């Protein structure tokens, strides 16, 4: 597990950023662009993946970070679920679905790995480190 100093260094966040960009692009095309509710929901869920990774990484304890990673992982699943709706409605084709759904699965697995690491890690976060040594 690599060490990171900023949330931008977290590979899962980087991949979530790419996914979010692609979600925004695809939700602005064809019939998808006219389904405001679904478009907003899938965009919001993808942004939530990024946001929860970032917010959790800035928390001072591993427990809090773990909790926000759990939220991010759940949001990745929400994106995938909404992509099924887009596929079934004919807004995206199977190839688009497979590519984006694959990203959600990869990001979820990465987040799960980071969560496992945090559970086993001896260092419990910045708020537990004394600066007076």
Token pair in block for residue 76: 């990745």
Flag whether 126 is in a domain: no
Q: Which helix (H) or strand (E) holds 117?
A: helix 94-120
Across residues 54-70, what is the average pLDDT? 92
Q: Quick one: angle between helices 11-27 and 94-120, nearest 10? A: 150
Question: pLDDT tens digits, residue range 84-129?
Answer: 999 999 999 999 999 999 999 999 999 999 999 988 886 665 544 4
Question: Domain with 77 in it: what CATH number?
Answer: 1.20.1440.60
1 in a structural domain: no
Instruction: Give φ, ψ of 121 to 5 degrees.
Output: -70, 135
| Domain assignment of residue 93, given as a range | 7-121
Which pLDDT value is given to residue 123?
64
The mean pLDDT value for 64-93 works out to 97
HEC readout, 87-98: HHCCCCCHHHHH
pLDDT-derived band of residue 60, with 50, 70 and 90 as boundaries? Answer: confident
Burial 9-20 (b: 16+ CB within 10 A, else e): ebebbbbbbebb
The predicted model gives 53-73 an average pLDDT of 93
Number of domain units in the chain: 1
């Amino acid at each position: 597990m690599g060490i990171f100093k900023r949330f931008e260094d977290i590979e899962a966040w980087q991949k979530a950023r790419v996914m979010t960009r692609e979600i925004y692009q695809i939700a602005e095309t064809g019939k998808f662009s006219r389904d405001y509710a679904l478009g907003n929901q899938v965009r919001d869920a993808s942004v939530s993946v990024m946001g929860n990774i970032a917010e959790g990484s800035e928390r001072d304890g591993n427990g809090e970070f773990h909790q926000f990673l759990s939220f991010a992982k759940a949001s990745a699943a929400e994106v995938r679920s909404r992509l099924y709706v887009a596929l079934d409605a004919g807004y995206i084709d199977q190839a688009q679905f497979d590519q984006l759904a694959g990203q959600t699965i990869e990001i979820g697995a990465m987040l799960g790995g980071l969560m496992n690491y945090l559970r086993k890690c001896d260092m419990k976060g910045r708020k537990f480190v004394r600066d007076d040594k």
